[in-house]
Amino acid sequence: MFSVAAAKDAGVSPRRLRSRDLDRPFRGVRSRFGSAAADDVDAHLRAVLAYAATMPEAQFFSHVTAAVLWGLPLPQVVLRAAMPDVAVLGPGRTPRGGSVRGHRLVHASTRVCRHPRWGVQVLAPASTWATLGAVLPDVRDLVAAGDAVVRTPMFRGDPSALATIDDLAASISGGRRIGMERLRLALPLVRERSASRPETWCRLALIDGGLPEPDLNWNLVVGGRVVACLDLAYPRQRVAIEYEGGHHAVDPRQWARDIERHEALAAAGWVVIRVTKEHLFREAEGVVARVRRALAR
CATH at residue 217: 3.40.960
| The domain boundary residue, chosen from 161, 192, 223 | 192
Q: In angstroms, how far is CA 271 from the centroid of its own chain?
A: 30
- One domain for residues 175 and 229: no
Q: Which helix (H) or strand (E) holds 60?
A: strand 60-61
- One domain for residues 45 and 132: yes
- One domain for residues 166 and 206: no
Cβ burial, residue 59 (10 Å; 0-12/13-18/19+) = buried
- One domain for residues 238 and 169: no
**Is 111 in contact with 123 (CB distance < 8 Å)?**
yes
pLDDT, one tens digit per residue, over 127-159 is: 999 999 999 999 999 999 999 999 999 988 999
- One domain for residues 109 and 54: yes
**Percent of the chain scored above 90 by pLDDT?**
65
Reply yes or no on whether the pLDDT at 246 is more than 70.
no
Residue 99, pLDDT score: 86
Region of 104 (left: φ > 0; alpha: ψ -120 to 50; beta: rest) is: beta
**Is 173 in contact with 108 (CB distance < 8 Å)?**
no
Mean pLDDT of 98-112: 91
Phi then psi dihedrals of residue 63, to 5 deg: 50, -130
Reply yes or no on whether the pLDDT at 112 is more than 90.
yes
Is residue 31 included in any domain, yes or no?
no
Residue 258, pLDDT score: 77
**Is 288 in contact with 211 (CB distance < 8 Å)?**
yes
CA–CA gap between residue 32 and residue 186 (Å, rounded): 41
Give the residue numbers spanning the domain of 250.
Answer: 198-296
Residue 95 sits at the vertex; the CA angle it makes with 92 and 97, to the nearest 5 degrees, is 160
Q: What is the value of pTM for the model shown?
A: 0.89
CA–CA gap between residue 128 and residue 148 (Å, rounded): 12
pLDDT, one tens digit per residue, over 186-206 is: 999 999 999 999 999 999 999
pLDDT, one tens digit per residue, over 194-237 is: 999 999 999 999 999 999 999 999 999 988 888 889 999 999 99
> Strand, coil or helix: what is 158?
coil
- One domain for residues 126 and 230: no
Peptide bond into 116 cis (omega under 30): no
Q: Which amino acid is it at 155?
A: F
Count of domains observed in the chain: 2
Give the pLDDT band of residue 249 (cuts 50, 70, 90): low
- One domain for residues 42 and 183: yes
Residue 275, pLDDT score: 94
Residue 225, pLDDT score: 85
- One domain for residues 45 and 180: yes
* Antiparallel, parallel or unpaired: β 225-234 and 215-222: antiparallel
Give the pLDDT band of residue 248 (cuts 50, 70, 90): low
